[in-house]
Structure 1
Amino acid sequence: MSTTTYPVRVDGALDDRLNRWLWLVKWVLVIPHLFVLAVLWIAFALVSFVAFFAILFTGRYPRGIFDFNVGVMRWTWRVQFYSYGALGTDKYPPFTLREVPDYPAHLEVKYPEHLSRGLVLVKWWLLAIPHYIVVGFFVGTGTWFATQADDRAWAWSGGLVGLLVLIAAIILLFTGRYPRSVFDLVLGMNRWALRVAAYAGLMVDQYPPFRLDMGGDDPGTTRLHEPLPPSTRPAGPPPSSTPPAGAPSPGSAPRMSAGRIVALVLGVVVTLASVVGLTVGGALAWLDEGRRDSAGFVTSGQVAMSTSGYALTSERFTIDVGATTVPRSWFGDARLRVASTGGAPVFVGLARSADVATYLAGVGYTTVKAIGPNNTTYDDHAGGAPSTGPTALHIWRVQASGPGEQTITWPVENGDWTLVVMAADGSGNVSVRADVGATAPALEWAWIVVLASAGVTLVLGLLLVVLAVVRPPKAGPSPLQAPPSARVE
């Protein structure tokens, strides 16, 4: 047993009898926990940011934030122990941040009275790097490769813990028992990872030991809440082992009321929806700020397109905007820029779809179905050469032709439209590079509103979750306090 103590204690007691088959469906059973933990870890990151500055300026970790963050780690460890981080128990994890004495997995972190103001600047990103490498190999970012004869490489990225737990699960399936040596090794690696998590979470200043403390009971720490030895207990008769009526059973997890369960579910849903909103808002902000050119157009990347026929056309697109739906001013102007890859004069035009269909009837041309950075799909139409060059027609809403890059710009207008790109003289084998853009004046307001709304709902969702899991349940009468009628005067 190690004589060196560490202020993070991680324990796990392997069940004597584990169900052979239950581990096959635990990934479904833990889904409610995963949703809640996703929200709790967002809150963990946000309040850790607050704790960082509190430690930097005061040298103290705010006790309320500390207890909350330890609770998140404790909840996570119970779920890992139940599921594929250890598969050490079939007892379903409780929904609580608190320590549950009768659950077989435990995590405790000793509260530090003082923390170094200097270390807080470097320990979580610089000093912990060697441990990150080890932990990555243990629990998830390490990769194992197997190469077959045809030179295809298959990768396993579940980490050594995941691999060992899988082996133990297969043995459990066929023999009905979990190999104790494998369990002790898995617990040691999880213990290492959780010590590093507490260090990186700024909860301790002591550098995590490079030591694999195996076994269910943590041999590398002292127990943080040891019961008093008999010689130091107060004099008097031993307390009764039977709690009074109405008091919660010792060692049992506090039950959540219906209101707290509703708040928890609603908070998780609202928070996850806000994360989607933040993602959408961030994408819109990137479009507005990162893809808008000096002319004010939000522009796509250039795409190469070609056909052996006489024209490239877009699919028919329908525009229906106005005062009764969405104001036309929200869309602004659209733009298409085209340049021939061979340097020949090129034509680009926009016309009503019916007029384009009449012009290209019997002509060999290609419709661009979908455009991708590495894959553009086409629909070819058989036919001959057009009887008239495109520049001689009067069907175009806007048009441009000539050598070099040609640009057409048009205001968004209701109707069915088709874009057409051809050689200026109507010849075949058209090959061009093109990009599209739009002024989209409403885009800036859109991402500001989406991000602001998502931020408000994120705070609301986190608040609901924190209130649901942190607020203590209603306590019954204290077992140490006799009712007034029973007091001895």
Structure 2
Amino acid sequence: MTTYPVRVHGRFDPAPNRWLWLVKWLLVVPHYLVLAFLWMAFGVVGLAAFVAIVVTGRYPRPLFDFALGVLRWTWRVAYYSFGALATDRYPPFSLGEEPDYPATLDIAYPERLSRGLVLVKWLLAIPHLLIVGVFLGGGGYLAFRAGEWAYSPAGGLVGLLVLIAGGVLLFTGRYPRGVFDFVLGMDRWALRVAAYVGLMTDAYPPFRFDTGGDEPGVATLDAPPPPAPSSGTAGRVVAAVVGVLLLLAGTGLSAAGALGLWADQTQRDATGAVTAPAQTLRTTGYAVELGTAEINWTEAGWAVGDDWLGAIGLRVDQDAFVGIGPTADVTRYLAGVDRDRVTGFGDQALYQHSTGTAPTAPPHAQPFWVSSGFGSLTWTAQPGDWTAVVMNADGSRVIDTPVVATATLPALAPVAWTAFGVGVLLLFLGGGLVLFAATRPTRPTRPTRPTRPTRPTRPTRPTAAVRTTIEGETHA
């Protein structure tokens, strides 16, 4: 038996398809999408296991099986793609053992784990993590970056050697055995470190380079040829892809809905309006345009106006003028005026400057403003193209004022709840499809044929020589 509880095996295929490896990066995209979610769950499971080990000294078996399943799935995908490039058999969407697949991984379940050691494993593993970083290019199967667990299918020395093996395979049709043995040694080292850092064993990984497809000290028989793919494989791949897309859409919608609910409950001021963060406007010109808002009627006859936005407000310094007017009228008024147009808000506003002269008349004297004021304004949105402008009250240059936008947004709560509910529904549907794709179907066992009763053997006749002897003895 091997001396380390993490057992990594890979069955060598000397002559895989010489062209397939060129598109494997595309073929494994569905796996990468599923693994992204599985590794996020792996991190959550690791935190739960950490607490359980500290309290009870045991890694809960269901959590252990899930973590082992993620590592198995990861190893199979890496073995198929650019973590080894050593098989053409497409990896199954499964967290199970899959013993008939050319790449297998097993970790002995620990009955007891040290409560104190779990606190410092990350520190003890630093030398190994540095080595694995060289092997796998700073990522690896399990690395700790910026507080998040990260998965990397290939890179570093492994990626370089696998690329060389792919080139040799392309021109010769043979996978070089020496490269295979060396790559498997690095993959084995990385998976041992993954299990240790993932709290799945207390056995410290050995500083030993065990090359080859088999664990040291373990004799393996030649594996039987892989079974023919089942008829449901294509359907499960489609289910996995659709499930991942639903998970992505559900995550986005539910996150947007949660953000909207948070804004509705926490970002309203005393008047009930949702308040955006203050932005400071600075320009050496005479005016600042805040952009164009295009509000149109929809086909159903609904306006993106008062029913959705409610009352819109802008607040600036008391000595500054702020107004909203039709875009065409504002453009004519500011034609040839030295001004800035705000093209984006963030930590600092982004400006587009237009050189010119001073305006011909002060802003408050213009008749086209639908809403204006000194220091603030309130406006109920209507269909049309509108532009907001901030200027000094006397029309002078150099503007330096904060601006705060508000809106009552009466539709925020129902829209947020709808998005959140649809997102959760998509998450359930996507998760169900992924679980369906990841669950290995049970194969019906063939009925055994009844054994036929053995016929009694007939006594053999004596040969002629024996018969003569007997007859001779009888005659005597």
Change over 3 Å in CA distance of 1:212–1:443 after alignment to 2: farther
Q: Which residue of 2 aligns with 1:298?
A: 275
Residue deviations 1:4-33, cap 9 Å, x none? 711111122343124444332221122233
The one of 183, 205, 208 equivalent to 1:211 is 208
Q: Which runs of 5+ in 2 are unaligned?
A: 141-153, 455-476
Change over 3 Å in CA distance of 1:46–1:409 after alignment to 2: same
Separation in 2 of the partners of 1:294 and 1:86?
62
Q: CA deviation at 1:419?
A: 0.9
The one of 328, 335, 339 equivalent to 2:313 is 335
Change over 3 Å in CA distance of 1:371–1:265 after alignment to 2: closer
Residue deviations 1:389-416, cap 9 Å, x none? 1133444343344xxxx34343444443
Change over 3 Å in CA distance of 1:302–1:367 after alignment to 2: closer
The one of 313, 325, 330 equivalent to 1:356 is 330
SS at match of 2:442: coil
Q: Which residue of 1 aligns with 2:144?
A: none
Amino acid at match of 1:399: S
Q: Which runs of 5+ in 1 are unaligned?
A: 144-156, 228-248
Matched, 1:85 2:83: yes
The one of 298, 302, 308 equivalent to 1:324 is 302
Q: 2:16, 2:173 within 8 Å by CA — same for their partners in 1? A: yes
Residue deviations 1:324-371, cap 9 Å, x none? 35683543443334459xxxx532222233543454456554444444
Q: 2:305, 2:382 within 8 Å by CA — same for their partners in 1? A: no
Q: How does 1:118-267 map to 2 (within 5 A)?
A: 118=115, 122=119, 128-141=125-138, 158-173=155-170, 178-219=175-216, 252=227, 255=230, 257=232, 260=236, 263-267=239-243
Name the Cα RMSD after superposition. Answer: 4.2
Matched, 1:389 2:366: no
Change over 3 Å in CA distance of 1:50–1:361 after alignment to 2: closer
Matched, 1:109 2:115: no
Q: CA deviation at 1:321?
A: 7.5
Q: Which residue of 1 aligns with 2:148?
A: none
Separation in 2 of the partners of 1:321 and 1:202?
59
Q: CA deviation at 1:437?
A: 3.9
Change over 3 Å in CA distance of 1:173–1:271 after alignment to 2: same
Q: Which residue of 1 aligns with 2:354?
A: 380
Q: Which residue of 2 aligns with 1:473?
A: 442
Separation in 1 of the partners of 2:51 and 2:436?
24
Separation in 1 of the partners of 2:65 and 2:45?
11
Separation in 2 of the partners of 1:414 and 1:319?
5
SS at match of 1:396: coil
Amino acid at match of 1:159: G
Change over 3 Å in CA distance of 1:200–1:326 after alignment to 2: farther
Separation in 2 of the partners of 1:62 and 1:254?
34
Separation in 2 of the partners of 1:472 and 1:22?
27
Change over 3 Å in CA distance of 1:368–1:44 after alignment to 2: closer
Separation in 2 of the partners of 1:439 and 1:137?
55
Change over 3 Å in CA distance of 1:470–1:338 after alignment to 2: same
SS at match of 2:396: coil
Q: Which residue of 1 aligns with 2:379?
A: 410
Change over 3 Å in CA distance of 1:334–1:325 after alignment to 2: closer
Question: Which structure has the larger Rg?
Answer: 2
Q: CA deviation at 1:80?
A: 0.7
Matched, 1:273 2:249: yes
Separation in 2 of the partners of 1:457 and 1:124?
38
Change over 3 Å in CA distance of 1:441–1:55 after alignment to 2: farther
Matched, 1:425 2:394: yes
Amino acid at match of 1:422: M
Separation in 2 of the partners of 1:139 and 1:391?
66
Change over 3 Å in CA distance of 1:64–1:483 after alignment to 2: farther
Separation in 2 of the partners of 1:292 and 1:159?
51
Q: CA deviation at 1:469?
A: 2.3
Amino acid at match of 2:275: V
Residue deviations 1:109-147, cap 9 Å, x none? 2233x133725853675554554444334324269xxxx
Q: Which residue of 2 aligns with 1:152?
A: none
Separation in 1 of the partners of 2:176 and 2:450?
55
